[in-house]
Amino acid sequence: MSSVPFREIEVPVFDKYKAVAILAKNVTNLQNIKENLIKGNTDYDYSFINAQNIISLEQLYSAFYKVMLDESHGSMKSRTLHTELIYALSPFKNILDCLNKFGISKTSDTLLVVKIVKGETVTPIFIKENLENLERIIDGDLIELNDENLQGSANVKMIEKNYKLNIRNTALKDNWDEITRSLVAITQLKGL
């Protein structure tokens, strides 16, 4: 078994659920993963997110908070927490558009993989079993989820287009914190 750590994500005020996440690079079986998701294969019960759209852990935490807020108020727009996370990360209101642009993509071989479960489920055994499952179903390299690895796979041009931001012609391109603040604001204001 690999020693790559999962990152645990939680919002203390919404302690019903936790998430565990990891980054996968050089993924060669994207089509197979997508087909298994569509079939409803329970081994693939994760959010598989195109990492080109994610630049920081703060962006992920913000979306997770939004999912927990919507779940607690009964205002989720999708049927599952995993799809709702993709929806929350995306600026689009149409769920199909969100999945097409923020889910598995033919243009990116880097995936942010997130599993949302009941909080008490997250144990060392649970993490070990899920890491082994991901190593079995993903043909690629599982790496640590951190800002540096996210920024290394981010596609600024794609982020600019999807979020309707003007990054390339400003100092923002070299200022990840400023871009993060913009993306977090878009996430939190979506739907208001």
Query: pLDDT tens digits, residue range 121-147?
Result: 888 899 899 999 999 999 999 999 999
pLDDT at position 168: 64
pLDDT-derived band at 165, boundaries 50, 70, 90 = confident
Residue 152: predicted pLDDT: 92
| Domains along the chain with CATH numbers | 7-189 (3.30.2380.10)
Mean per-residue pLDDT over the chain, rounded: 90
The helix (H) or strand (E) run that includes residue 188 is helix 176-189
- Using a pLDDT cut of 70, give the percent of the chain over it: 93
| Residue 32 pLDDT level (bands cut at 50, 70, 90) | very high
Q: Which is higher by pLDDT, 137 or 180?
A: 137
- Tell me what pLDDT residue 75 has: 94
Look at residue 23 in the predicted model and tell me its pLDDT. 96
**pLDDT over 50 at 1, yes or no:** no
User: For 13, phi and psi rounded to 5 degrees?
Assistant: -70, -25
User: In this structure, how many other beta carbons lie within 10 angstroms of the beta carbon of residue 45?
Assistant: 16
pTM: 0.92
Contact 59, 187 (CB under 8 A): yes
